[in-house]
Amino acid sequence: MAAKVAVNSGQAERCYYVDWLRVLGIIVVFIFLNTRFFDLIDWEVKNKEVLLGPTIFVLFVNFWIMPLFFMLAGGGARLALEARTTMQFIRERFWRLVVPYLFGILILISPQNYLEFLSKGWFGGTFSDFLPWYFGDKLFAKNFSFDPVWFSYFGHHLWFLAVLFIISVIALPIVSYLKSENGGRLINWFAAVGGKVGGIYLFIVPLAFVEVLLRPVYSKYSSWTDFIFWFIVFIFGYILFSDQRFVESADRHKYISLSCGILLLVLFLVISTCFLDYLRMWRDHPDYSMGCIFFISCGLLQHGCG
pLDDT in the model for residue 3: 41
Give the Å distances, CA to CA, from 239 to 29, 48, 183. 25, 46, 10
User: Which pLDDT does position 196 carry in this prediction?
Assistant: 86
For the chain, the C-alpha Rg in angstroms (whole number) is: 21
- Answer for the pair 151, 222: CB distance below 8 angstroms, yes or no: yes
Q: What is the mean pLDDT of residues 244-248?
A: 88
Which residues neighbour 177 within 8 Å (Cβ) at sequence distance 6 or greater? 183
Taking a C-beta distance cutoff of 8 angstroms, is the pair 260, 63 a contact? no
Between CA 299 and CA 176 the distance in angstroms is 32
- Report percent pLDDT > 90 for the chain: 37
- Give the pLDDT of residue 261: 78
What is the band of 276 on the pLDDT scale with cuts at 50, 70, 90? low
How sure is the predictor about 9, in pLDDT bands with cuts at 50, 70 and 90?
very low
Beta carbons of 55 and 39 less than 8 angstroms apart:
yes
Task: Tell me the average pLDDT across 253-280.
Answer: 78
Mean pLDDT of 239-259: 88
Model pLDDT for residues 34-51, shown as the tens digit of each residue? 999 999 888 888 988 999
| pLDDT tens digit sequence for 141-194 | 566 678 898 898 888 889 999 999 999 999 999 999 999 999 999 999 999 998
Confidence grade of residue 8 (pLDDT, cut at 50, 70, 90): very low
**β-strand partners of 15:** 4
Quick check: 82 and 12 in contact, CB under 8 A? yes
The pLDDT assigned to 178 comes to 94
Q: What is the mean pLDDT of the chain?
A: 85
Choose between 273 and 119: higher pLDDT: 119
pTM metric for this prediction: 0.87
